[in-house]
Amino acid sequence: MSRVVGTHTCRPAAHREAIIVVRPVVRPAEPIKVVVTGAAGQIAYSLLYQIASGAVFGPDQPVYLHLLDIAPMMGVLEGVVMELADCALPLLTGVLPTANPEEAFKDVAAAFLVGAMPRKEGMERKDLLAANVRIFKEQGQALDKVARKDVKILVVGNPANTNALICSKYAPSIPKENFTAMTRLDQNRAQSQLAAKLGVPVKDVKNVIIWGNHSSTQFPDASNAAVKIGGVEKPVTAAVNDDEYLKSTFVTTVQKRGAAVIAARKMSSALSAAKAASDHMRDWFLGTTDRWASMGVISDGSYGTPRDVVFSFPVTISGGKWKIVEGLTITDFARQMLDATGKELLEEKQDALDVCKD
Ligand SMILES: NC(=O)c1ccc[n+]([C@@H]2O[C@H](COP(=O)([O-])OP(=O)(O)OC[C@H]3O[C@@H](n4cnc5c(N)ncnc54)[C@H](O)[C@@H]3O)[C@@H](O)[C@H]2O)c1
């Protein structure tokens, strides 16, 4: 589409003819509605700015933020709303704070499901799972009722993979492919560890994979990763040249990084979790470029993993659709690691389904 924006008459009057200058009309994009749950919490505190500033959906995409939290947090949420207003962000067209899931999920195109019950002292893993599965069952039902059918859902709240599975189960009108769980923080941690080990900028390491569950059974895998050194790309395995490090220290450092942050900060990772959530959703909306992303997605049994659990795989993304990277070699060591994390996901799934029966 174009419109005439002006005419020039710079020739002598006798030969005067209008030169029409035509410029394309760039219509501002329609705002999309984006929901963040747990909006009064610490991850959301960093995430909301990233979404509203254009870092996730692009610098030309206005957003209307829906903020969901529980009723006792509405006062705190009011303060967050004030701060968003005070940021004077040009892309932020409106904010809706609410404690009602159906209001929060109405017509959303993207959902960051961050809100979950934190682990309290003396709480068993199973108790935490039970509490959170109920939240994600209810939110699945609400999404099914009122969200756009093409909504892209990222579950951050733990246990993220199993919460995503349950959410999807209770939202049957939304494709299963639209429910994902976050393992991007683990990927970013792994990439950063390797960059530090090799003394290169973090951007020069790519294709580190996180397989499986976002838990201590996850498998951070550098066997297909590449690093650019002196302008030349080479396998990370060759550059590190220390198989024992890649199978032990590297794996456990990434697996235990969350606990290390809690030990130091006395609070769980929030800034880095928010950055990872932004990376995940940005790649999903705008596409991956020359590198893979790891995301928890519904398993089709690829690489001998259990079907119908939300398992983290390396994916490429184009046109808003993810695709599992095919044809990678799985070593005996990798096989053991994939089987262990797959087994845990099957157990979590069973526990979650038992809770949902109540
Ligand atoms: N996948 C990952 O890599 C990753 C990384 C870090 C943290 N996490 C998880 O993210 C979650 C949030 O972390 P945080 O540090 O922001 O926690 P937080 O306790 O600071 O905030 C959580 C917020 O969720 C809200 N909430 C609780 N139940 C809710 C419900 N039913 N609906 C809406 N909101 C609800 C709480 O009121 C609170 O404001 C936790 O489950 C944490 O374990 C995941």
Asked if the domains 32-181 and 184-349 are classified in one and the same CATH topology, the answer is no
The residues pairing with 212 across neighbouring beta strands, listed in sequence order, are 312
CA of 11 to the centre of ligand 1 (A): 68
Other Cβ atoms less than 10 A from the Cβ of 217: the count is 17
Amino acid in the structure at residue 169: K
Spatial contact of 152 and 175, defined as CB atoms under 8 Å apart: no
- Crossing angle for the helix pair 271-286 and 184-198, to the nearest 10 degrees: 100
Residue 245, helix vs strand vs coil: helix
What do you get for the CA distance between the two ends of the chain, in Å?
A: 57
Q: Is the CB of 114 under 6 A from ligand 1?
A: yes
Res 338: pLDDT: 98
Res 335: pLDDT: 98
CA of 319 to the centre of ligand 1 (A): 30
157 known member of a binding site: yes
Q: Is the CB of 214 under 6 A from ligand 1?
A: yes
Res 15: pLDDT: 52
Nearest atom, ligand 1, residue 39 CA: 39
Res 21: pLDDT: 64
* Averaged pLDDT, 158-164: 96
Q: Which residue, 220, 297, 294, is CA-closest to 257?
A: 220
Q: Which of 45, 46, 69, 262 to mutate to test the pocket of ligand 1 (most atoms within 8 A of CB)?
A: 69
What architecture does CATH give domain 32-181? Answer: 3-Layer(aba) Sandwich (3.40)
Residue 117 confidence class, pLDDT cut points 50, 70, 90: confident
Res 144: pLDDT: 98
Average pLDDT, the chain: 93
Spatial contact of 259 and 30, defined as CB atoms under 8 Å apart: no
The pLDDT of residue 9 is above 50: no
Q: For the chain, give every domain's residue range.
A: 32-181, 184-349
Res 19: pLDDT: 63
Nearest atom, ligand 1, residue 72 CA: 37
Q: How many helices (H) and strands (E) does the chain have?
A: 12, 16
Res 286: pLDDT: 97
- What would the pLDDT profile of 190-233 be if each residue is shown by its tens digit? 999 999 999 999 999 999 999 999 999 999 999 999 999 999 99
CATH number of the 184-349 domain: 3.90.110.10
- What would the pLDDT profile of 267-283 be if each residue is shown by its tens digit? 889 999 999 999 999 99
DSSP state of 303: G
Q: Is the CB of 46 under 6 A from ligand 1?
A: no
Classify strands 205-206 and 226-229 as parallel, antiparallel or unpaired. antiparallel
